[in-house]
Amino acid sequence: MRRFIAIVDRMNRWIGRVVMYGIFVMMGILLWSSYSKVFATPTLWTLEMAQFAMVAYYVLGGPYSIQMGSNVRMDLLYGEWSLKKKAWVDGFTVFFLIFYLIVLLWGGLASLAYSLGDFSGNFFAFFGRVIGGFVTGGIEGATEPMGYIERSSSSWRPIIWPVKLIMCVGILLMLLQCLSEFFKDILRIRGEDMGDKA
């Protein structure tokens, strides 16, 4: 358990520390949008690109937020409890979050497959066909199972699958971080030192 905790925490800490600077990317896009509307020809891509940057910032930064304990929680009674009691409650309630994230990931993968041109909604069968096509026919064989690539309905019309892929990766990282937090709670219940402050 400690090895899993160390690997997941290190990975999410690194990703979270990098992604937190994404706020400056989003600010730059919005600043360019404001500038172009006032002083130049307004651009079509800025607001939608700012939304995509916000999705990446929020979804990839979520696991780091959970790890740091900066997620929102009702602190009416929780703040006064001992570490062991908090671990019991967190160990129970994390199952609701894990269930929610599994359902969200399942839907995200189906949506990703849809955006890549598979309308069956079965990501794993679609992914198997893409890998099989790549093995037998290279890049052309891998793109053969793909049909109509989904695009945004805006006038800019960017492809959608990259942002859906980022969402799926972020949800998976959040799921791994929740499992890490669950394992930490188990170790706290056992009375092992996790470096917490009482």
Residue 64 has pLDDT above 90, yes or no: yes
- Tens of pLDDT, residue by residue over 68-114, are 888 776 677 777 888 888 889 888 989 999 999 999 999 998 888 88
- Tens of pLDDT, residue by residue over 108-133, are 988 888 887 776 667 777 777 777 77
Domain ranges within the chain, ordered by starting residue = 2-71+82-189
Q: Is 57 within 8 Å of 23 (Cβ atoms)?
A: yes
- Across the chain, mean pLDDT equals 85
Give the predicted TM-score (pTM) of the model.
Answer: 0.83
Residue 188 has pLDDT above 50, yes or no: yes
Residue 198 has pLDDT above 60, yes or no: no
Secondary structure letter of residue 175 according to DSSP: H
Q: Assign residue 138 a region: left if phi > 0, alpha if psi is -120 to 50, beta otherwise?
A: left
Mean pLDDT of 184-188: 90
Rounded to an integer, what distance in angstroms lies between the CA atom of residue 105 and that of residue 165?
11
Rounded to an integer, what distance in angstroms lies between the CA atom of residue 20 and that of residue 93?
27
* Residue 192 confidence class, pLDDT cut points 50, 70, 90: confident
CA distances from 177 to 30, 50, 164 (A): 31, 26, 20
Better-scored residue on pLDDT, 144 or 112: 112
Secondary structure letter of residue 117 according to DSSP: T
